[in-house]
Structure formats: C-alpha cells, structure tokens
Structure 1
C-alpha cells in the first residue's frame, strides 16, 4: 500500500507539472481507472537527484520497459535493445574468432568501449575479449549484456549525452543503465521455444524469476535462466569443393546458464542492498574451411578437408554490496563495493597443428584472456529547497591477464615451416602471458541549481588520477528552460575521456614461421614490448572528447511526448591498431625499421597507438503516445529516428622511426570505410502495442540505414532494409499466458555482395553477406512462449 500511495502522489505531481489539469483530478478517478494511470517514465541516470521524470531531464534519456523488451522476440538483452533503440548497432559477425561468441554493440556510430554500462547505477566491467578481426569495434572491448537474464530487468535507461564528467571513463557515446526488478513484482517462470524458417537456430530457453517481499518495502529477487541456441548457417555451396557447403557463416551454437539477484533489506534509516549476476557460456563456431588439398591440411587425418571450430568457455561475474540512507539533516548517502570480471577461455576442436605432422592433437586448449574490476564508491547528496548538491569519491582497481595455452596450440614443429599452432585459433605462447593492473582515484561534484522557476542549471566536474597515464579533469554544463508547462528547451556541453583499456596496452598474440634456418615471429605486441618500443610504440594516452547537445521536448498532454535533439561529439587521440609493419607490406618503411625487424627476428608486427581524431554529428527524434480506451483497453506507441555520421578530422603523426605517414600506417581503405561508413547512417524504430484484459498485440518496425564495407580495397555500399517483428500474447487465466511471435517476419535479408556488383564482389562465393549487416542474416524466425505466475 505504501508503494501504491507513493505512485499516486508521484503521478499527481507529474501530471501537474506537464498538463493543465489540476492534481485533484487524479484523486477523483475510480479505483479501477486509477490503477491504470500512466506516469512519465522514471530514470536514475543523468543526475544524482534520485529517480526523476525522463522527459523532464536536463539531458536526453530514453527508457525501455520490461514489456517492450519482452515483446520484440529475442530473450537476449543485447538483441532486444538493438531491436528497440535507434542508433544502437549490434551486427552478428561470423568467422571472426572470439567475436562470434560475444558480438559487441555500439551506440551513436562510435565504438563498443565508448559506451558506459551501469547496472543499478554501478559500473559494469568490460569483457575480456579484444576484438581484433575485421569487425565493427575492431581494437576494442565491450560489455557482454547477454550475461544478464532478461527476465531480471525492470527497465533500461539510455542516456544520449556525453557523461564522463559525472560517471568517469567510457561515457563518450552515452550510458546504458540496466535497472533490475525491485519491490512489487510477481514470481514467474517462462518456457521459450523458437526456430528460424530455414530450419536451424533452434532456441530453447527456461527462465524463473522468484521474489520474496520483506518488511519495510524490502525484497529478495532471484532470476535463473538456461539457454540453448542452435547454430544458424547462411553459407552457400562452394563450387570449388564440389558444391558442398563446407563453411559455417551464421550464429554460434551456444549454451548459457545465468543467475542474477537483487535485494534490499531496510534497517531503520539505513537500507542494505546487493545485486549481481553470474553466468557461464559454452559456444561453438567455425573458422575458415581447409580443403583436402590445402597445404595446411593433413589428408591422412582429414581426407575431405576440415572446418576448425573455435569453442570458448566464457565466465562472467559481478556483485555489488552496499548500504544507503538519510541523515537527520536530509543528506542522502550511499556506500558500495562492486567487484567482478570476465574470463574468455579459448578451445579449438576439429583442427590440427600442421607443423607437428601426424603427431598433432586435434583438440587444443589455446589459453585465455581475463579481466577483473573492483571499485568502491561513496556518494552524498543534499537538497536545499529546489537546489541539489551532490558529490563523492570512487576508487577502482583493474586487472588484465593472458594465460598461455598448451604447447601444441602454439608450437612450431619440424613438419611445416609456415603453419605453427592450432589451425583456426593459434594459442597464446608463454611469451604472450601477461598480468597487468592499475588503479584510479576520482572525486566528483554535481550541482543542480534552479536559477528561476523555469530555468535550471546543472554543473558537474570530475577529477581522476590513473596510475598508468596520470590525471584527467572533465566538466559539464547543462541548462533547461521550461517557458510553458508543456514545452522545454535543453542544452549541454561537456568534456570527456576514455582511458585506454589494459587490453589495448598489454595484449600480445604472436606466432612463428621458419625462414631457412631462422625462426621468425610475427603478430601483435603490447606497447611496452621491446619489439613494439623499438618500432616507435609509446604509452597510450586517453581518448578525449567534447560533446554538445541542443534539443527540445514538447508534452501537450500527460500521454504524449515528442522530442528533438541534435548532437556533436569530437574525439581526439582515438586508439587503433596499426597496419602490419613489414617491409613487404609498407613500401616506404624506413631502412632503420627494417633493420629493427631483422634484429628482433620479427617478420612483421602491429601494436596500438593514438591515431586519429573524429567528429560525429547526429540528430535524434522521439515520439511516445499512450491512450487509454474503454473496457480496459490501451494503445501505446513509441517511435524514434536517429541519423549519425562519423568523419575523420585529424590524423596524428606516425613514429619517425618507421618513415611512413600515419595515413599509410593506419588508414587503409578498409579501416577508413569501417570507421566512417561501416555502421548504418540512420535508424528508425516504431514499437506499438494494443492491449485488452486478455490479449496484447505488439509490432516492432525497424529501418536500418545504408552502410558500407570493402571487397579487397574497393568500397561497397549496402542498401537500407526494413524489418517487422510481431507478437500476440493471450492471458489464459490469472496466472498463465501464451505468447506467439515472429522476428523479421517478412524474411528480410541484407543486400548480398553479388547484388551490389558481381564483377567486384564475385557472386557465387560461399559468403553472400557482409558481416557488418546490422540485423544479421538469419531471416525470419518464430517462437512460442509459455508464462506462469506463482
């Protein structure tokens, strides 16, 4: 009852702020209508004043509810968000080593590591996988959202603004705040079964959400989930292999087990809380096929050729323990510890080490990468009438490790001079093993000041010191003017940064070849490695950004909101891997650099460097409308459009020792096209749901704008595409629901390489689609879902 009264009071206040009707209108409603009153979506992110109305915020914030996330079909959080959020890109690459098994997402045409992810307002650790193949997000790490069960999520808040001055590193493109279910929910279970119309990709999933209320609005929530997703394959028959389909080009075969929790226990004026998740994923996907006559094959082992399979085991853990409360003078405080990490352990099956001859094993442990993160937060805030002063301290410690694989996964044996290690994914050698760590301290201050009843200023600053690259200070100013109760203007300007990840600084992966009597090494080197240092590598600096947003919100009634925002994000010193530094690859490579390669017994090398500056310009449009109809019916429509383009505006100097220009070292045509045009230039999303007491029909329409890739060094542009998701949910009785739905029911496929220009792309190749395709290439899929409340 306390929560219901709070909700009604909040609804009355929101209604008074945004509409002309007086507050007592709500209290005059009958109870059956009162419980259906829709209040503006609430958000915690963007300001330190606690939960606030998202449409009324000083910065652009979108809120996606559990109803929306569950209605688009996929029960993986990343795919559900990508189906709803304009400007969120989540391609599903294939034949891309580890990226097949944990594909990253991006926001606003930037990189995966330029988005900060929070869970209940606390920083979530990055994944251990460094995406090093030719995928969107190459050279970066990203958070694995699919380690969080969707049934545990109450809402997701998307902050569309630079926020590093408030939340620290990574918040350049924006913030995702995943809010877990709290008090007042009902225990439930779900069974999900689905498959593509092509007959593959069988999905079986079982989820249980259990909640137990405690005294004083306390609660304990547990969510357990098992997923089994079969592989999909859209590879074409290979005319050079007798018309067999020998490749795997599609989703990986994955099995996941997940557990999440969220709990609050009030004790007087203090509330103890904890939340977190633990998950384990087993996955399998193919590398490139080795034909029978390929010199990398041993016909005695694989007379028909072989398809190596990369089969990682991925573990993810995060846990937060904290306490919060209010002192007698009204000061709110929050103390918390968050710890967690991600472990990505590579295994390879159906393979061989060609250099070991017939003594080779066919399965390999290729080693692992792992990250760990521990942070302590102390937050304080106090309201002074309409004003708010908040601040705090954060200590964070991070660790990155590479563990070597078994010897056969990386050794160069006597049988072949060129093909050392496991085919598909060569193992990490002992020389690649690393254990690196760093710490940071941050002080931050946030001021919200009402200059006038209709004019609010927000100022924030954050000073931070990293043990590896030193101090950084960032600031933000936001201004909101509300000249009428139904219309507001908002603008913000801020500076931000992204600390170079420990993976970018320390990642090393090498292999060996034999050149006559000499054994040469080649691969990627950490910036502190002697080979990288000799070739001009320097300590990585943080990426720095400047962000500007200008927008308006119009809310003529309590159930209609429209907004328009334009933004500019400038980033300097973006971190990228170099091209392959070798005499045969860079024609102008200096004699000094070639001598260094010879002295170090290295065939060629890459490393990370601060390379370029970019500018991203964009426009966001949003519309949300809710309408209550007679007899308990309701219609809800939410639409959004984003247009964003990134352009390279500055190229740093290359190390003098190399004797080449940075453009030649970094920006080959493939890299430039990927950075500037590899993601859709625009995105449109329209989600709508019509509900009655027994039925709910939801539709989700998406338009993915054009994007580009390269065939060799030739740019190829792929056309925009529309997709449609449908779902019908039937309330069988008070406790049971049956859901039937389809994703991409029009069976839309991305434009294929051969449709673009057969002469350029070579139609008839086994791989028809670019791995940059923003909605994948599986086509239509249908599912059946049974839900039970208990």
Structure 2
C-alpha cells in the first residue's frame, strides 16, 4: 500500500517555508553557485572567467551545496537531477551492473565521457557491463565512489575535448573539484526510506579543513553509507515443487511467492578522500589528493525453483534465490608540483588509480557437485590499474590588437593494465553429479582459461592557444597527438570561438575531432565457460562465452585488433546575461562517431560455413566478442536558464534546464568473413538499446526560496519516453514522467540545521511492461534502463553541524 499520508504530512510541514513574505534585502546566493566575483578556471579552458557562461563551450557548474541540498545520497544520482543531459538509469538482475551502474552524457555510451578529479584523469571501473543495460559492452567511472561531502563543485563540459584531454572525451568532460578549505567543516547524519517502507538507508558523512603551515591546507572528507534493498517484484505464480503422485505438492499453498528481488541492491559503502595543498617559495605549490572507497552490495539473480535441475532439494528443499554480493574497491592517489619557470607556469604531476571488482555469491550452489556443494563462492576478480604522468606548460605572450595569447603545451604518459583472476574451482567446475549443470548458480566463476594479465601504454603531446583578440571576440585552437602501443596513433584538433555582440548577448561555437581508444577491458576481457549440452542423449562439453580479440577465435574470424572510435563534433550556442540577474544559454550539437565498439551477439556454426570453420579451428562452439562495427550520429540541444528574484523579505532562485538528444545508426560494417551477419551481430535489440533506451527529452524546473532561517527547494524533473526491445522482437515504449521533489532546511543556530524532504513526492512509477515481457508477472517494471528507477516515493531527514 502506498503511504499517501506521508506525502500529506510532508506537504503540510514544508509548505509554510515557501510563502513569500514582507519587505527586506535579498540574501546572497553564494551557497548555491560559484560566487560571481570568483575567477575560476573551468574545465575545457585555461583562461580564467567570472562565470561558466563567459566561455566558448557550454559548461554546467554544480556546487557541492547544491548536490547536498537535493537530499540525494549518491553522487551520480544527484548529478543526474542537476544536469538533464546526464543519464544514470536504474538496473536490477543485471549481475555486476547492479553494483556499478552505467552513467552517460548526451545520449552516448558511458565510456564516451571523461571524468577528471581536480583536472586529473580518473580511472574507470574494472567491471564490463555485459547485460541489457545502457552502454552494454562498456566500462565507466564509478562516480558513487566519490562522496558528496568531498566535493566543492562539479564542472560538466558539454562539448568534445579529446584535443585537450585525450581519449574518451567525445561526449564531454566531468571535472570534480574537491573541497580545499584550511579550516572548518561539517558533519551530517541522513536517514530515510521509500513510501513503500523498504529501502531504508542512513549515511554519516562530513569533512574538515586543517591548516598546513602558513597558507597550506589539508581537507579530509569521509562517509559511511548503508542502504537496504528495495523490491518491486511481482508474485511468482509458477509451480514450485515436483508433483506428488501426480498431484500438486501441498507446499504450493504456503510458498512465499515474493521469491524474486527486482529493485535496488542493498549495499554498505565506506569512502575517504584527502586534498592537500602546500604553497612553497614564490608562486610554487605542492599538491596531492587521494581517495579510497569500499562497497559491498547484494542483489538477486533469478529464483531457482525446487523442481529446477539447477537446484538440489537436499540443500534447498524450497528452492533458492542466488545472491550476488560483489566487493568493489577503488583507490587513487595523485601528486604534483606547480612552479614558475621564467614566464611559464609549469605543472608536473603523476597519479595511480586502481579498481577491483570481486565477484562473490551467497545462497547459491553448484548442482553438479551434489549435496556436498558449497553454498558460497568466490567467482573471480577483475582488476583495472591506471598510471598517469604529465608535464604541462602555460604562459601569456603579447599578441595582436594589444591582447594576450595563452600558449599551453605538454606531454603525458599513461599505462593501463587489466587482470582477470579465476574464481575458486567449485565456482566453475562441472562435477558430473546426476547430469546437473556446472558452475555456481547466479554467476558462473571465471575459469583459468579466462585469466589475463595484460597492459598497454600511450604517449600524448598537445599544444593549445587561446586569445581574447578584442573585448568582444575570443578564439581558441588545440591539437593533440597520441601514440598507443597496441593500435597506433591518433591526432585530434579543436577550434572554438565566441563573439559578444554587447554586454548581454553572445554567440559561441566549437568544431573538433575526437577519439576513444578501445579500453583495456574491451581488449582483454574474456569469460569462457564450458557448458555440457545434451547431444542425442549424451552430455557433450561446449566452449562458449566472450573471447577477446587476441584469442584464436578472433584471429580465425579475421577480426584484427580493435581500433579507436573517431568522432567529428560541432556545436553552436547563444548566451544571454541580462542586467536583471537572468542568464540563458541555448546550445545545439552534432556528434558523428565512426567505428563504435559493440559487444556482439553469439555466433554459432550454423550462422555460416566460414563461421563454422573458424569456430572449429579455434576449438570453440559459440563465441561473442568486441568489434568496431557501427557508425552513429547524435544531434541535440541543451537549454539552461537561471533567474534570481529579490523579493520583499526573501529571495527566490529560478532554474530551468532542458536537454534533447537523438542518436541514429548510419551504418553497420563487419569484416568480410562476417558479411551477411549484420542483423545477427548487431540486432534490433542492440540497435534499440543504442538509439532509444535513453530518454530523448529530459529537463528540470526548480525554485529555491530563502526567507530568514528557512530555505525551501521545489523541483520538477522530467524524464521523457524511451523504448526497449526484447529478444522476441517486442518493442515497448515507456511514457515520459514528471518527478517532484520538495525539501526544506531550517537553520536552528548558526552551526546547526535540519532538513526534511520528499523525493518523487507523488509516488510516480514507470509504465508497466507488456504482460508478455513480465516473466510470469514478476518483472512488472523495466528492470534495465529505468531513468528514475522504480522505487516510488522516498522521504528523508538530515541533521548537519557546521564548525
């Protein structure tokens, strides 16, 4: 039953703070935005600006206070509600993707967005998304490994930037700037649950600034976050037990038919970040930052019924739900030194990042081992490591028209390593008991044949120019060359310009090429399983799974090495900064990407004689792999409007953002040996996932009102329609929905404040799936790409002490 009384109580408690009252002076907005007089270096430019709207490319700046004020406890989810072009869908029963969910920008793949911390490249997750989620076959940075309490602001560059930062920056760049205060801090306690009464969570988080010497600082931030699962599964109507003398087992009447878990995973997350700045002599400074996070989550697979041959009634008389309980570790450290060398500003830095994803299973078994089977398994570990080193130079020189020309150049080195460790033998072996299937149920462990320990490196060099030629005209140009040890080299360039017609109105445009190097996960990921298939009454072992591109299977199919995806991007926008605190930006873009890498469907011998010969030569019975196969074009527009209104005794901030994106497939191309298999390797399911699984329209309209000690925020978030397709060819269109959030913060004292709020206040759910796609009524809602999830409403309270 939906708890509607909770919504009524929230509205009653919060509404009075939103009333506009009597005459006074408006309060400052520095808690919501970067201060107007602060000159900042935003991502995508080496020039300093007063605000993000002064640049030639669209940049969203979201302060840490704005992220915290939303009441959302996950960094990626809070960013999704602040930036409509950022997509962070919910997924369930998708193996490891339940623990590290894919996130994307401007409708492109998760690995088309580069993530930086303090301007330095962040490592991606070791996990490869293999199931039906957005970005299948990709890996992305786990933003939820970075606690909100550590974030000063997030800068989102909605423009291609490979010429500036190298690989991955096709859709844009997300730069997370860490807090760097030398004193003070805060500690908060947050708790809440869904209107349904599940998904209970609490989070303790905070930060503190410590002085180092006369002008240095060390800022520490930490969080502990515990969340219980949510479950929106339908009841399982199927027969659960074998018949007894031809009649239903009496236990059918008492069986708990809420047997599946379809909802958010439960998890326990601990994270700590540190940010150090120590000025030395002159204008030089030593800096370093580091972070560590550890998350253990738990989600369900498909329920194994008592009558299933994947069950042993001696172990689970009533059947069982295998539980995936992976442990995810992310660690990173970056250090650098900034100094003057003549007229040059020099930045020398080095960093290391590591992601480890350890597959574990509980409440499972290996049926082929018989009643003595273990029920818990270590199914293997994925490890991704990244090492970066760079030296950058920048200075200003006199230029035409009495202007200064910014010249920047630098070189960088990066090494990526990928490792797969096999699981324990019981997680993948077939013991031969009673013709039962082998491997741990819920997720079969990695075999020794799947183990890899490989690396690749690259060297990059760039030069960049920026100039304010006149008070009204700004231009920039950049070129970058990269050489990789595995596939060769790439050169990217970028041009940008901006013209201010007057103090209020400006036109800006960019043109650039970009690339995304195939990730080491895509190059080296392998998951080979030996399946015993009944052939004419005899169990025959078959080797199947995902084979990497250096495997005999790939060589027999003449796939060749993976090549980089290459892009051509154009954008044009207008900027309006009114004298009445009105700011409006409208930016249109077009991104064409060639040779996008996909994870294919499985090939089998009957697909073609050439495939049959290749599989036989490699000793494989079926295979899927990563391949450069698809060309796409994505077009869209982003609109951002902000208006500050001074009322009589209060102030009101109005913000509106809208994003539109549309992706079309321009062509599918495969090696000659695979001619005619385009629909097999890139079928309609994958085509729909690439082009329509993300809403084309999204937006947010928010009102933030301050009066005396009250601050109230009301936000209306729109997630447009999207389309999913199943393997039977059924396409389902899910309609757009409005999600309403409401919160109020009351300042009890100068140091203590309390917040209460409701997210999804009107308890909105996605459209239900077509009955034929609900798996016996169990999967009521789309479980792989729900933009705002399917938990319904959520209410919370938070207490914060600042010092």
- TM-score, with normalisation over the residues of structure 2? 0.90
Aligned mate of 1:747, from 742, 750, 763: 763
- The verdict on how the C-alpha distance between 1:630 and 1:327 changes in structure 2, with shifts beyond 3 A counting, is farther
8 Å contact 2:182–2:210 — kept in the other structure?
Answer: no
Aligned equivalent of 2:592: 570
8 Å contact 2:498–2:509 — kept in the other structure?
Answer: yes
Mapped to 2, the partners of 1:43 and 1:82 lie a distance apart of 23
8 Å contact 1:417–1:513 — kept in the other structure?
Answer: no
8 Å contact 2:26–2:646 — kept in the other structure?
Answer: no
Aligned equivalent of 2:310: 296
* 1:154-211 deviation line (CA, Å, top 9, x unaligned): 1111101000010110000111001111236631100011111111111111012111
Aligned equivalent of 2:220: 222
Aligned equivalent of 2:345: 332
Q: Does 1:529 align with 2:573?
A: no
Aligned equivalent of 1:650: 667
- The verdict on how the C-alpha distance between 1:451 and 1:49 changes in structure 2, with shifts beyond 3 A counting, is closer
Aligned equivalent of 1:116: 114
3-state SS of 1:592 partner: helix
8 Å contact 1:753–1:763 — kept in the other structure?
Answer: no
Aligned equivalent of 1:343: 356
Query: Deviation of residue 472 (structure 1)?
Result: 0.5
Q: How does 1:535-574 map to 2 (within 5 A)?
A: 535-557=557-579, 559-574=581-596
- The verdict on how the C-alpha distance between 1:290 and 1:66 changes in structure 2, with shifts beyond 3 A counting, is same
3-state SS of 2:578 partner: strand
Query: Deviation of residue 517 (structure 1)?
Result: 6.2
Q: How does 1:1-12 map to 2 (within 5 A)?
A: none
644-653 or 66-75, which deviates more: 66-75
* 1:644-665 deviation line (CA, Å, top 9, x unaligned): 0000001113x3334x424223
Aligned mate of 1:702, from 717, 738, 741: 717
Q: How does 1:51-200 map to 2 (within 5 A)?
A: 53-183=51-181, 186-200=184-198
3-state SS of 1:378 partner: strand
- The verdict on how the C-alpha distance between 1:442 and 1:120 changes in structure 2, with shifts beyond 3 A counting, is same
Aligned equivalent of 1:282: 296
3-state SS of 2:612 partner: helix
Mapped to 2, the partners of 1:416 and 1:626 lie a distance apart of 72
Mapped to 2, the partners of 1:607 and 1:725 lie a distance apart of 43
3-state SS of 1:225 partner: strand
User: Which structure 1 residue ranges, 5 or more long, are not aligned?
Assistant: 1-29
8 Å contact 1:38–1:559 — kept in the other structure?
Answer: no
3-state SS of 1:484 partner: coil
Query: Deviation of residue 40 (structure 1)?
Result: 6.8
Mapped to 1, the partners of 2:575 and 2:86 lie a distance apart of 22
Aligned equivalent of 1:322: 336
Aligned mate of 1:678, from 674, 693, 710: 693
Q: Does 1:411 align with 2:425?
A: no
* 1:377-410 deviation line (CA, Å, top 9, x unaligned): 1111111243211111111111010001000001
Mapped to 2, the partners of 1:164 and 1:596 lie a distance apart of 37
Mapped to 2, the partners of 1:670 and 1:106 lie a distance apart of 19
Mapped to 1, the partners of 2:315 and 2:711 lie a distance apart of 56
Q: Does 1:776 align with 2:795?
A: no
- The verdict on how the C-alpha distance between 1:762 and 1:227 changes in structure 2, with shifts beyond 3 A counting, is closer
Aligned mate of 2:658, from 641, 652, 669: 641
Query: Deviation of residue 554 (structure 1)?
Result: 0.6
355-364 or 491-500, which deviates more: 355-364
Mapped to 2, the partners of 1:333 and 1:160 lie a distance apart of 27
8 Å contact 2:96–2:127 — kept in the other structure?
Answer: yes
441-450 or 597-606, which deviates more: 597-606
* 1:282-305 deviation line (CA, Å, top 9, x unaligned): 111001111111111111111111
Q: How does 1:245-264 map to 2 (within 5 A)?
A: 245-264=258-277
Query: Deviation of residue 215 (structure 1)?
Result: 4.8
3-state SS of 2:664 partner: strand
Aligned equivalent of 1:485: 503
3-state SS of 1:146 partner: helix
Query: Deviation of residue 595 (structure 1)?
Result: 3.3
Mapped to 2, the partners of 1:489 and 1:32 lie a distance apart of 32
- The verdict on how the C-alpha distance between 1:418 and 1:132 changes in structure 2, with shifts beyond 3 A counting, is farther
8 Å contact 1:163–1:171 — kept in the other structure?
Answer: yes
8 Å contact 1:310–1:346 — kept in the other structure?
Answer: yes
Mapped to 1, the partners of 2:56 and 2:183 lie a distance apart of 30
Q: How does 1:352-367 map to 2 (within 5 A)?
A: 352-367=365-380
- TM-score, with normalisation over the residues of structure 1? 0.92
* 1:554-581 deviation line (CA, Å, top 9, x unaligned): 1122622101110000000000011110
Mapped to 1, the partners of 2:280 and 2:179 lie a distance apart of 21
8 Å contact 1:289–1:305 — kept in the other structure?
Answer: yes
* 1:423-457 deviation line (CA, Å, top 9, x unaligned): 00111111100011011111111101233331111
- The verdict on how the C-alpha distance between 1:416 and 1:410 changes in structure 2, with shifts beyond 3 A counting, is farther
Aligned equivalent of 1:12: none
3-state SS of 1:533 partner: helix
8 Å contact 2:233–2:261 — kept in the other structure?
Answer: yes
- C-alpha RMSD of matched pairs (Å): 2.0
Aligned mate of 1:615, from 611, 630, 633: 633
8 Å contact 1:158–1:177 — kept in the other structure?
Answer: yes
Mapped to 1, the partners of 2:693 and 2:37 lie a distance apart of 36
3-state SS of 1:261 partner: strand
- The verdict on how the C-alpha distance between 1:267 and 1:40 changes in structure 2, with shifts beyond 3 A counting, is closer
3-state SS of 1:788 partner: strand
8 Å contact 2:182–2:219 — kept in the other structure?
Answer: no
3-state SS of 1:99 partner: helix
3-state SS of 1:531 partner: helix
User: Which structure 2 residue ranges, 5 or more long, are not aligned?
Assistant: 1-24, 240-251, 398-402
Mapped to 2, the partners of 1:765 and 1:236 lie a distance apart of 6
- The verdict on how the C-alpha distance between 1:414 and 1:592 changes in structure 2, with shifts beyond 3 A counting, is same
Aligned equivalent of 2:36: 39
8 Å contact 2:117–2:177 — kept in the other structure?
Answer: yes
Mapped to 2, the partners of 1:362 and 1:528 lie a distance apart of 35
8 Å contact 2:182–2:218 — kept in the other structure?
Answer: no
Query: Deviation of residue 48 (structure 1)?
Result: 1.8
8 Å contact 1:188–1:787 — kept in the other structure?
Answer: yes
Query: Deviation of residue 49 (structure 1)?
Result: 2.5
Aligned mate of 1:666, from 681, 686, 710: 681
- The verdict on how the C-alpha distance between 1:717 and 1:289 changes in structure 2, with shifts beyond 3 A counting, is same
* 1:321-349 deviation line (CA, Å, top 9, x unaligned): 111133453x2111111111100000011
Mapped to 2, the partners of 1:523 and 1:747 lie a distance apart of 41
Mapped to 2, the partners of 1:527 and 1:220 lie a distance apart of 45
3-state SS of 1:671 partner: helix
159-168 or 59-68, which deviates more: 59-68
Q: Does 1:505 align with 2:523?
A: yes
3-state SS of 1:69 partner: helix
Aligned mate of 1:738, from 754, 763, 772: 754
295-304 or 760-769, which deviates more: 760-769
8 Å contact 1:287–1:309 — kept in the other structure?
Answer: yes
Query: Deviation of residue 416 (structure 1)?
Result: 5.3
